[in-house]
Structure 1
Amino acid sequence: MPALNNTRHAPPVRLCQGCGLPILSIHPTAGNNAYCPRCGTQQSRGGSPSLSGNLAIALTCLLLFIPAYSFPFIHIHLLGVNFHGSIVDGAWCLIEAGYFPLGVLVFFCSVVAPITLCLALVLCHISLHKHWFIGLRIGTSLIRRLKTWTMIDVFLVSILVACIKLSDISDISVGPALYALIGLQILCILLITRVSLRRYWELWRPEVSFEHQHKHIHCNHCHLSQPEGSHCQRCHHTLHVRKPRSIERTSAYLMAATVALIPANILPISILLTNGQRLEDTIFSGVISLLNSQMVSIAIIIFVASIIVPIAKIVGLGYILYGIRFQTGNRVRQMKIYQIIKVIGKWSMLDLFVISIMLTLVDRGQILNFVPGNGAIAFGLVVFLTLLATESLDPRLIWDSTNEESAICRSADE
């Protein structure tokens, strides 16, 4: 194991952003990523995808946003009349129906977040070219915060679910925006997996140019490990050894989400008015109805996204908080649970997207009408609060009580 030394020619040391362990900052070879040997958090990516490629993808996404959001993504023939729906229509219908918070949440996750993410990346490239520090700082901050809230992939799946649910009562045809959405989703996934904020800040000022003899704190914005201080020496963001009040904020969000989970599952999430009958469905009864209609695959998707995932997030985060509070449990397992929650968290939005699509296409007056139920508001609150709880939790707190030799620098190459 290589010994630590503070000479000028010593291998660069970096603190893991996942657990705080000092590790050797090794640049991986092509195709091989570098991970923390203790918590498994990715430290750097293999290969060297060009930043100009990121810019090209972002600009293509911005062009695809125009047809994706301007034209209908679906047409239906219902009760002798043709109707169509677009992404913006769904959020607007929720707002018009009196569900303003749900409409804003749907609009933000399906429209505002992905567009702003691409614009922020373009801003980063302009800032690097023009040597504009404030622009790079704003752009990277927006990208870091909006990755979680960009949910075009979830919206695409929700279109599929809505189409299958409507297939029994209407004739469905694909609109031109759906093809743009599919291309947009492919490019968005590629863009999010390629973008490394560390690389942008390395182009601004390389980490090796900072001759730090001791590194005690890691900047979560530009990923520079450095001595303790009030502000980052590279990006000038406020420095914190750990996220301020992380446990308190996460616990508060989690308790509020747990309370909201009860009405979200008890109250009707959707109401269908047909032939003078009022058919109310909770999340669970909706799943049963899909099973009775032989729509097993859609029932499984809804059950997992709307019941399993929210409960799993609350239980998983509660388990992690318990382990941090009482310094118990398997820390590797807790870290894996946290990483899984980060990945699956956004899929709880699926049912809300389905509701917005159904509201756009099935609102035909007295013969057939669809409106959200009060359970939809509670469910939207659960989704929002659990996402905030995940973002507010500092995973390094899981490892703070370990007695391992965290002061020893280890190789991150696998």
Structure 2
Amino acid sequence: MTHPPCNNPHSHCTPPNSVRLCQGCELPIDNVPLEKGLSASCPRCGTPLYKGGMPSLSGNLAIAVTCLLLFIPSHFFDFISIRLFGVMIPATLPNGIWALIQEGFPLLAVLIFFCSSIAPLILAVAVISAHVSLKQRAFKALKLSLSVVQHIKSWAMIDVFLVSVAISCFKLQDYSDIFVGTGLYGLVLLQLATVLLVTRVRVYQYWEEYLPESSLNLGKKQLHCHTCHLSQPEGEHCSRCNSPIHHRKPHSIQKTWAYLLAASVAIFPANLMPISILLTNGQRLEDTIFSGVASLVKSGMSGIALIIFVASIVVPVCKILGLSYILLAIKFKRTILHKQRMYIFFLIKWIGRWSMMDLFVISIMMTLLDRGQILDFTPGLGAVAFGLVVVLTMLATESLDPRLIWDNYTPDKNSRESLDE
């Protein structure tokens, strides 16, 4: 449930410390206490601001420790096994990574390993480190830990990996018998714990515990720090965490265009070159993303084909087109549909990670279909190009400062737009 923080967001009738600048559009908003379960969003751009009720920091610590403990069963026990020609072939997550390295795809292996294992591990360790730093009042360690938490969240993709396991099982059911292993239960529990950790951990809460905003003598709020989320007067460094602060991210437009252009180049080999190669009964079958989707449809797996089509073809193209539209609207100073462009940005930021699904499926298939078997599976060069597209589009989204969308917004001129929205 969303609770509007203030009927008059431009009101100056409240004390300075009760005002917060929206990090999405820099609108001054009254910071009204909320009941637990309620959340506040910016009335202009829709950016989530804060939630009512603060989850306990000790609860965050307990969940982070649970995540660490679950890494052992989820990564070192078999999550699925297949019986292929009378031989049981188990699969663990590290097996798929090692198989990619052996086949000559180390960069692809690093990307998959980082998103499926390293990022969730770093997230849990960073939360634990933040608690230790907070208890010891270690400023530098606390700042580093919370910065890691803030930036690593979008790269932790255990949920995407679990969906990839299900898709792999559907693709393998025509070739072999499939058995669920202990590691899969560990992965499911780890995913639940990671999601709970991501939704509970609030960087702002840790900084408030370290140095409350009420203890700082702040004047009129003109800048918002994206490191500790403190709104404060004009300056070059944050009053609380000493990070450089800017009205807009430096070189945001140039960086986003650079990532987008590189992704636009990489998307052609990603779709035209083989993404996977299957050897069966002496025949070499090369599949691009399109042909792979078509073969799934022919095999009667229309649902799986639709998921892969959307995640691997529609999503990357829409991300490139959507970000390009936003950048062009900023360039040509479009004076309407600001909120719609913000919604497009939110959607792109949320959906981009699901493009990793096809690469996870490749690593799982490689684990189960070993070389030397009658059935053999290996990635193609298209998989490398596709990995580049996923990384570049995610970096493009991260580099874009959404406040640029609102630079030419004027309430009086855009009053009709505000009513429509």
Output the TM-score relative to the length of structure 1: 0.95
Q: Stretches of 4+ moved more than 4 A in 1?
A: 2-7
- Measured after TM superposition, the shift of residue 259 of structure 1 is 1.0
Q: 2:388 aligns with which of 381, 394, 400?
A: 381
Counterpart residue number, 1:402:
409
Counterpart Cα distance in 1 of 2:176 and 2:16? 69
Counterpart Cα distance in 2 of 1:344 and 1:3? 33
3-state SS of the aligned residue for 2:208? Answer: helix
- Measured after TM superposition, the shift of residue 211 of structure 1 is 2.0
Counterpart residue number, 1:233:
239
Q: 1:64 aligns with which of 53, 67, 70?
A: 70
Counterpart Cα distance in 1 of 2:12 and 2:337? 32
Counterpart residue number, 1:281:
287
Counterpart Cα distance in 2 of 1:230 and 1:3? 25
Letter in 1 for 2:83: H
User: Does structure 1 residue 186 correspond to structure 2 residue 192?
Assistant: yes
Equivalences, count: 405
Counterpart Cα distance in 2 of 1:2 and 1:261? 43
Counterpart residue number, 2:418:
none
Counterpart Cα distance in 2 of 1:2 and 1:56? 38
Counterpart residue number, 1:358:
365
User: Does structure 1 residue 55 correspond to structure 2 residue 61?
Assistant: yes
Counterpart residue number, 2:272:
266
- Measured after TM superposition, the shift of residue 364 of structure 1 is 3.2
Letter in 1 for 2:411: E
Q: 1:88 aligns with which of 94, 101, 118?
A: 94
Counterpart residue number, 1:412:
none
3-state SS of the aligned residue for 2:154? Answer: coil
Counterpart residue number, 1:246:
252
Q: 1:20 aligns with which of 20, 26, 38?
A: 26
Deviations 1:242-271 (Å, cap 9, x if unpaired)? 111100000110011011111111111000
Contact map agreement 2:10 2:29 (CA 8 A) in 1: no
- Measured after TM superposition, the shift of residue 19 of structure 1 is 0.8
Contact map agreement 1:342 1:390 (CA 8 A) in 2: yes
What is the root-mean-square deviation of aligned Cα atoms in Å? 1.6
Counterpart residue number, 1:37:
43
Counterpart Cα distance in 1 of 2:144 and 2:96? 30
Distance change in 2, residues 1:11/1:198 (3 Å): closer
User: Does structure 1 residue 303 correspond to structure 2 residue 295?
Assistant: no
Distance change in 2, residues 1:241/1:26 (3 Å): same
- Measured after TM superposition, the shift of residue 27 of structure 1 is 2.3
- Measured after TM superposition, the shift of residue 108 of structure 1 is 0.6
Counterpart residue number, 1:145:
151
3-state SS of the aligned residue for 2:133? Answer: helix
Counterpart Cα distance in 2 of 1:302 and 1:158? 10
- Measured after TM superposition, the shift of residue 78 of structure 1 is 0.7
Counterpart residue number, 2:346:
339
Contact map agreement 1:161 1:298 (CA 8 A) in 2: yes
Contact map agreement 1:163 1:172 (CA 8 A) in 2: yes
- Measured after TM superposition, the shift of residue 10 of structure 1 is 5.2
Q: 2:378 aligns with which of 371, 381, 396?
A: 371
Contact map agreement 1:11 1:24 (CA 8 A) in 2: no
User: Does structure 1 residue 120 correspond to structure 2 residue 126?
Assistant: yes
Counterpart residue number, 1:410:
none
3-state SS of the aligned residue for 1:148? Answer: helix
Letter in 1 for 2:409: T
Counterpart Cα distance in 1 of 2:72 and 2:244? 37
Counterpart Cα distance in 2 of 1:67 and 1:306? 30
Letter in 2 for 1:362: L
Instruction: Give unmatched runs, 5+ long, in structure 2.
Output: 1-7, 414-421
Counterpart Cα distance in 2 of 1:259 and 1:3? 44
Counterpart residue number, 1:214:
220
Distance change in 2, residues 1:98/1:2 (3 Å): closer
- Measured after TM superposition, the shift of residue 316 of structure 1 is 0.9
- Measured after TM superposition, the shift of residue 114 of structure 1 is 0.3
Instruction: Give unmatched runs, 5+ long, in structure 1.
Output: 407-414
Q: Which structure has more RCO (C-alpha within 8 Å, separation ≥ 6)?
A: 1
User: Does structure 1 residue 200 correspond to structure 2 residue 200?
Assistant: no
Counterpart Cα distance in 1 of 2:144 and 2:208? 16
Letter in 2 for 1:247: I
Letter in 2 for 1:364: R
Counterpart Cα distance in 1 of 2:281 and 2:320? 40
